[in-house]
Amino acid sequence: MRNPNEGNKVNNYLKLVKFSHTIFAMPFAFIGYFIAINQGYKLNWILLCLVVLCMVFARNAAMAFNRYTDREIDLKNPRTALREIPSGVIKPGSALNFVILNSIAFIITTGFINKLTLCLSPIALLLILGYSISKKFTFLCHFILGMGLSLAPIGAYLAVTGKFMWLPLIFSVIVLLWVSGFDIIYALQDEQFDKTENLNSIPAFVGIKQAIIVSTIVHFFCAIFVVMAGLLGNFGKWYWIGAVCFILLLTYQHKLVKANDLSKLNHAFFTANGIASLIFAVFTVMDLSM
């Protein structure tokens, strides 16, 4: 008899990499892409599809590698024990093969874009895969995760132009601070477990109350860079509408999470951040397209 927990293989792998969470960084790749188009580069839909594929392959590799390296830890944690690898739905070897295949697909896809993206692809992979290991030795792991996702806007810009420029780099800083801040919030729920297992996180290092303060400070600086990007990029009203919505949603998620009440943490992490990313990107692209 077939194990009902196995389900559909494709669906299992989508759950393994939390494919729905692609919504966090993907919109910022579109911002980077359309910054380049706004500078006079031709809109190329095939190139845009290649950028999207790079995002998907890189994120698949990163998430699957995270699940692979954390498989024994996840088995000990009641919150994560039913994940695909510890529950036996996906074998560790299969997950590792999935990481390798997506990593190869990422590098090959960058080769179809330009030489610079191809040359930088191994460095990008090392960064996004490194987060999974960083949790073992530094409480700054949240910022390493942020750095990995921050490659979205500058990577998309490089795909079109083949050169660096300050504006997409500012958007990369926005992503770095935004992701780092909300990952600190997400780690609140595992504070005691991380301490018990000698795992590193800001909540485990300074405690829940102080970690919330750190996250708030990080998001405050994120908001500053959002304003800075708007001023230095000479954006119009559509950008500022999106920026205000983004900052308000940053504020909203901090209103939801209390040191003595983490019951709304998932709502703050998933819903607020997903909506924030989409709204900000839509209005920014609208402004760039005007």
Domains and CATH numbers, the chain: 9-289 (1.10.357.140)
Closest CA to 16 of 108, 91, 84, 98: 84
Q: What percent of the chain has pLDDT over 70?
A: 96
Q: How far apart are CA 11 and CA 31, in angstroms?
A: 29
Q: Is the pLDDT of residue 157 over 90?
A: yes
Kindly indicate the confidence band of residue 247, based on its pLDDT and cuts at 50, 70 and 90: very high
User: What is the C-alpha end-to-end distance of the chain, expressed in Å?
Assistant: 59
Name the average pLDDT for the chain: 90
pLDDT digits (tens, 9 = 90+) for 57-102: 999 999 999 999 989 888 988 888 888 888 888 898 999 999 999 9
Whole-model pTM: value is 0.92
Condensed to tens digits (0 to 9), the pLDDT of residues 2-56 reads 444 444 888 877 777 776 666 778 999 999 999 999 999 999 999 999 999 999 9
